[in-house]
Structure 1
Amino acid sequence: MASSPMNKYWIPHLDIHKKVITQELQYYLGPDATVRPYTREGEDGFLITTPGACLTDEQIDDICLKSKEMWEKQAAARSQSNPEKPLKRPLHQPVLISKGSGEGSKRRGKDRRGHISRRPYDDKKGSESSRK
């Protein structure tokens, strides 16, 4: 059985949620259609691979509408988890990646024993090499 040639289409990610397009694509374009994130000429979007034609304007509108609903549900879930402070921009809630120890600014310029070093860093390197 010969496989049919696959067409590749790019669409911008604007107003499209990745989860929604992933869920809806095969419904619209059939079981052989795939989608993945793809950057074209510096612009983020999605690369759609399908044996037939790409999504119609109506299908893209439907995906955008479902994406908006998805973002609204996510924002509502986030605001329920932190109800005391509503955000002006719920989709831009900061996510903590790492937390500093709080001692970084205090330790700067001190050696291992907690004494303030009077020599610049480069001098320390030079003095080590001159000892050898």
Structure 2
Amino acid sequence: MNRYWIPRLDIHKKIITQELPYYLGPDATVRPYTNEGEDGFLITTPGPCLTDEQIDDICRKSKEMWERQAAIRAQEADKPLKRPLHQPVVISRGSDDSSRRRHEAHRSHERHRRYDDRRRD
């Protein structure tokens, strides 16, 4: 099996996943892959990789998909969102201030006690 990497630039994951078996056969696979810090796709196939024309076709279809998605979002812009975009979602909460103050006071007391013990020696 041959493995090829192509950059993610202008390629929608759904499109390349749909089109790859059409271009390279049913044994070809694609998955996200980072090569030297650049995001892209790792293609595994028994034959040659995609041609420039095939990649151009995937890029064109990707652009069409993004445009359709943008048009749908624009039509739905008037609908209120269930929650605003980028609203923080609490995963966990730290302790409240009173317990933090107790912890800091305990640590301060421990430091002073250790200092006093050293002075006695």
TM-score, L = length of structure 1: 0.66
Long gaps (5+) in structure 2: 91-95, 114-121
Q: Kindly state the Cα deviation for residue 95 of structure 1 after the two structures are TM-superposed.
A: 3.6
Q: Counterparts in 2 of 1:1-132, with a 5 A limit?
A: 6-83=1-78, 95-96=85-86, 98-99=88-89, 110-111=97-98, 122-127=104-109
Structure ranking higher on relative contact order (CA contacts 8 Å, 6+ apart): 2
Query: Percent identical across equivalent pairs?
Result: 66
In structure 2, C-alpha distance between the alignment counterparts of 1:21 and 1:110, rounded to whole Å: 51
Q: 1:35 to 1:127 in 2, by over 3 A?
A: same
Q: TM-score normalised to the size of structure 2?
A: 0.72
Moved over 6 A (4+): none
Q: Match of 2:98, SS? A: coil
Matched position secondary structure for 1:111 = helix
The CA RMSD over aligned residues, in Å, is: 3.0
* Structure possessing the higher radius of gyration over alpha carbons: 2
